[in-house]
Structures are given as C-alpha cells and as structure tokens.
C-alpha cells in the first residue's frame, strides 16, 4: 500500500497539471482584462485588471507630463505638447472603442512616443495595445521603456508583471511586483500575485506570507475590489486558494485544508477550490473527505477529467476498485490517456 500511495501522490500531482493547462484568459472578458480561470496549481489565480489608458495633461496644471516627461514652456514646444496630447487622446479613444481599433491606437501612441520620447505615456499606451492583443514580448519592451522614464508609473508596472508571467519569466515578474509594493504597499492585488508566483517557483514560505497579507488587507477593505473585474469575494477566495497551495507545497496539509475550506466556503461554486481541497485531503491521507471534495468539484463542473482521475485514485487508496473503475469508464470518453493511466493503477 505504501508503494501505491507514493505512486498515487505522483499521479495526483500530474492530474493537477492536466487540470491547469496553463493560465487561461476568459473569452467573455474585455481584451487584455479579466482573470485567470485556472493555473498550474489547480485553480489559484492572478488578480488582473485591464490597464488604464495613459492620462492626458491636467487642465490648469501646467505642462509637466502626467506620464513622466517634461515639456518646456516655449511657444513652439507648447504646440508640440498639445499635439502629443491629442495623439494620446486619439490612441485612448481607438483602444477604448466598443470594437477596439488597435492598428489606429498603435499608430497614435507611436507618434506620441516619437514626438515626446522623454514622456512615458506613449510607451505605456503601446504596452497596453500589445497586452490587449496578447503580444506579451512587445508589451514588456514598451512597459519597460515607460518605467525607465518614470520609475513610479504603477499603471505600467502592474501590467508589466502580468506580461512577464505570461512569458513564464517569473523571477522578473516577482522583481517588478516587489518594486510596485514600495509604491503601493497595501494593494492586495500585488500581495496575492506574489503569493501565486512564489508558489510557482516553490518558495512556499514567501508565498504564505504574501497570501496572508493579501487576506488581511482584503478583510479590511470590504465591498467590491476596485482594481479588478473580480468581486471582493472572488479575490478573497483566490488568496485562500494560493495560501492553501503554498501549505500543500510545504506538506503542511492540515493548514492547507483549513485555507482551502475557507476558499470553498467563500466561493462555493468554485470547482477549483473543491478540487484543491480534495488534493489537500488526499495528501493528508483523508481519502473519504477527498472523495467528497472531488465529487463536489464534479457537481460544479461535470466532465472535468482531472477530478475523475483524482477521484479514482482516492477510491484506489480506499481499496474500492469497483468505484475506481467507474471513474475509468467516465474518463474513457473524456481523456483516454488519463483513463489508461488510471486503469494501470487499478490493476496494481
């Protein structure tokens, strides 16, 4: 049984990877915005908001650039600044149209950056356009240039972190998020995302601390989360899922169970929360509870192959091959490769 349990643990982790398949941006969300519906850890999420358009010069505030550049007071340069502002406005309008006109927006922001190469706004606008279109490497290049010009440009730093994650450049994303924390230390978005990233690189102690800080801040905030598409409840559930995954990584399974039960109670229709809870129960050798959690995940999201697979493993651990074969039969029509893996475990 010890050998079977060890192999089951490995297959459970493999099933979690299959469940995730990498970050997915929901199709119904606005271009460049929304949230990840799942990830490599089985449902934990980054908090992400569609980047703000670069600002226009405030009326009556002189001509110092809102984007970090400087505009001289001489009449000729004043006209140039006005032209740049119009280009930024045109780019913003094209990007924000009901059907975004990205080619037009890109052209306008490029012109603005050419007219005022010391102003961060044109580069940030280009980063937004590229991010909206999932052109992540191009977005990183433009946001990085904006930040060189204006190191405190939070509205460029946050989407830069997101783009780096999408390129699997986790260490760089962590650096950017930590830099942004110095500017906005009480932003739960940043703490949650650091927890997510620390889990990714298996720095679980740091992940726990980041997630606990996000949870603390969210508990104080109340109401809807102002920076994301998610509600306050969804964001808090994400933070608890990240926390539970961190404890799972540390093999502190009882702590993982507590955190993931919180996630499931906060967001009971989250299949990922119940799936992760099942994984924590399984790792804690609480197989009956694992079965219940996986069954709940399947009620919410029927036909989820990884849940059928892990449920089958839980039945094997409970020495119930008949029930495990039922999960094999369900998997045959969903994922034959996973079905074959499960069947090989049942035969042992």
Residues 6+ apart with CB under 8 A from 232: 218, 221, 222, 223, 224, 225
Number of structural domains the chain divides into:
1
Q: Is residue 20, in this structure, part of any structural domain at all? A: no
- Over the Cα atoms of the chain, what is R_g? 24
Q: Please, what is the end-to-end C-alpha distance for the chain in angstroms? A: 10
Rounded to a whole number, what is the largest CA-CA distance in the chain?
84
pLDDT digits (tens, 9 = 90+) for 164-196: 999 999 999 999 999 999 999 988 889 999 999
Q: Over range 234-256, report the average pLDDT.
A: 92
pLDDT attached to residue 19: 36
Residue 268 lies in a domain: no
Residue 125 domain flag? yes
Q: CA-CA distance, 21 to 41, in Å (whole number)?
A: 10
- Which residues have a Cβ under 8 Å from the Cβ of 233 and sit 6 or more positions away? 266, 267
Does 252 map to a domain? Answer: no
| Cβ atoms of 193 and 166 closer than 8 Å | no
Q: Is 305 inside a domain boundary?
A: no
Q: What is the DSSP letter of 243?
A: H
Q: Which residue has the higher pLDDT, 19 or 169?
A: 169
From CA 305, how far away is CA 228, in angstroms rounded?
A: 30
Q: How far is CA 62 from CA 78, 214, 290, in A?
A: 10, 38, 63
The phi, psi pair for 156, rounded to 5°, reads: -100, -35
Cα–Cα dist 323/288, whole Å:
13
- pLDDT of residue 252 exceeding 90, the answer is yes
Query: In this structure, is residue 11 part of a structural domain?
Result: no
- The CA distance from 160 to 177, in Å, is 9
Is the pLDDT confidence value at 69 over 70? no
Rounded to two decimals, the pTM is: 0.80
What's the burial of 135, exposed, middle or buried (CB within 10 Å: 0-12/13-18/19+)? middle
Residues composing the chain: 348
321 Cβ neighbours under 8 A, 6+ residues apart: 315, 346
Residue 112, classified by CB atoms within 10 Å of its CB into exposed (0-12), middle (13-18) or buried (19+), is buried
- pLDDT mean over 271-276: 90
Q: What percent of the chain has pLDDT over 70?
A: 78
* Least reliable range by pLDDT among 4-13, 245-254, 300-309: 4-13
- Position 76 confidence tier, pLDDT thresholds 50, 70, 90: low
Cα–Cα nearest to 39, from 305, 245, 282: 245
Residues 6+ apart with CB under 8 A from 20: 38, 39, 40, 41, 42, 43
pLDDT top residue among 279 and 7: 279
Q: Would you state the pLDDT for residue 9?
A: 41
Residue 161 and residue 296: Cα distance in Å, rounded?
34
Determine, yes or no, domain membership for 272: no
Q: Residue 299: is its pLDDT beyond 90?
A: yes
Mean of per-residue pLDDT scores for the chain:
82
Q: Which domain holds residue 59?
A: 47-183
pLDDT at 320: 97
CATH of the domain at 91: 1.25.40.10
CA distance linking residue 198 with residue 170, whole number of Å: 9
User: What pLDDT shows up at residue 221?
Assistant: 54
List, in order, residues 6 or more apart from 167 with CB less than 8 Å away. Answer: 136, 137, 140
113 belongs to a structural domain: yes
Query: What span, in angstroms and rounded, lies between the C-alpha atoms of 46 and 2?
Result: 36
């Amino acid at each position: 049984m010890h050998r079977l349990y060890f192999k089951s643990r490995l297959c459970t982790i493999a099933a979690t990877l299959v469940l995730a398949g990498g970050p997915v941006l929901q199709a119904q969300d606005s271009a460049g915005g929304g949230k990840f519906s799942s990830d490599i850890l089985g449902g934990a999420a980054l908090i992400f908001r569609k980047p703000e358009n670069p600002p226009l010069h405030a009326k009556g505030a002189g001509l110092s650039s809102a984007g970090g550049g400087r505009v001289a007071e001489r009449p000729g340069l004043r006209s140039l600044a006005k032209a740049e502002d119009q280009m930024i406005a045109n780019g913003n309008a094209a990007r924000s149209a009901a059907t975004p006109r990205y080619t037009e927006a890109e052209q306008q922001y490029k012109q603005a950056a050419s007219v005022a190469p010391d102003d961060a706004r044109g580069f940030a606008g280009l980063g937004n356009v590229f991010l909206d279109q999932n052109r992540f490497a191009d977005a990183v290049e433009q946001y990085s240039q904006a930040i060189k010009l204006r190191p405190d440009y939070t509205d460029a730093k946050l989407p830069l972190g997101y783009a780096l994650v999408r390129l699997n450049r986790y260490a760089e994303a962590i650096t950017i998020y930590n830099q942004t924390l110095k500017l906005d230390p009480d932003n739960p978005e940043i703490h949650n995302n650091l927890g997510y990233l620390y889990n990714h690189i298996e720095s679980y102690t740091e992940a726990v601390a980041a997630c606990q800080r996000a949870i603390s801040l969210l508990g104080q905030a109340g109401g809807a989360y102002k920076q994301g598409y998610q509600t306050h409840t969804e964001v808090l559930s994400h933070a608890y899922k990240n926390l539970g995954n961190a404890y799972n990584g540390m093999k502190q399974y009882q702590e993982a169970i507590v955190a993931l039960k919180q996630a499931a109670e906060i967001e009971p229709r989250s299949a990922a929360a119940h799936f992760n809870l099942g994984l924590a129960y399984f790792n804690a050798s609480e197989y009956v509870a694992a079965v219940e959690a996986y069954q709940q995940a399947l009620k919410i999201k029927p036909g989820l192959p990884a849940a059928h697979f892990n449920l089958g493993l839980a039945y094997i651990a409970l020495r119930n091959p008949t029930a495990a074969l039922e999960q094999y039969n369900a998997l045959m029509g969903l994922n034959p490769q996973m079905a074959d893996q499960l069947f090989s475990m049942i035969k042992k």
